[in-house]
Chains A and B, each alone.
Chain A
Amino acid sequence: GQQLNQSPQSMFIQEGEDVSMNCTSSSIFNTWLWYKQDPGEGPVLLIALYKAGELTSNGRLTAQFGITRKDSFLNISASIPSDVGIYFCAGQLYTGNQFYFGTGTSLTVIP
């Protein structure tokens, strides 16, 4: 299967700081999704991206579809304690194909 590498693997930040994470692949994807997973819960879809270069926001979250189509980025501004969780990227090679999930970024926000 496809390998999606997320970095960093984990982050410990102070409340109010901004967060950046990314997801890279050796393959070209046509769709990127970003999810957040809380302990004991299923992943919740945050942002979907469909075109190279696309920049999409959802509240304090902003994600970008990389120009090369091999990467995507997620930024969280002014972090708050409820941002704690594991963030996953997911990429789709072509419509109707399965999504491949990244390795995850664990975010801890220190009040």
Chain B
Amino acid sequence: SAVISQKPSRDICQRGTSLTIQCQVDSQVTMMFWYRQQPGQSLTLIATANQGSEATYESGFVIDKFPISRPNLTFSTLTVSNMSPEDSSIYLCSVEDTGQGVYEQYFGPGTRLTVT
């Protein structure tokens, strides 16, 4: 299975600022995903990031608020822009793994963001 790391692991930010979260995978993957998990809640998909194309955003999420980069097959960034306290969440990077011919999805450890 893919090993995924995220930076930073946590941060406390002031309202109105932006934070960029990095996701690094130890193998090349086609699809990477960014999720948000609000306190005590399930996971909500923000966007799907494929290398060489623009990210595809889910309903309720827009590129201006959550710009995503995918410069190569092992790395992606998610920026949370112009933050407000409502953006306080855990942000999770995820990748698909079809190495065994079946579809599985693995997650990074998450970035815990608190906006004050």
Contacts and interface: CB of A to CB of B under 8 A. Distances in A.
Interface of A: 1, 31, 33, 35, 40-45, 48, 50, 88, 90, 92, 95, 98-99, 101-104
B106 A50 contact: no
A-B CB proximity, top 10 nearest:
A42-B107, A101-B43, A42-B110, A42-B109, A101-B42, A43-B107, A48-B104, A42-B108, A104-B42, A103-B42
Interface of B: 1, 4, 33, 42-45, 48, 58-59, 92, 102-110, 112
Given A43-B43, A45-B1, A98-B33, A31 B109 contact: no
A55 to B, nearest CB: 16
A88 B112 CA distance: 19
Query: Which of A40, A88, A90 lies at the interface centre, i.e. has the most chain B CB atoms within 10 A of its CB?
Result: A40
A98 B34 CA distance: 11
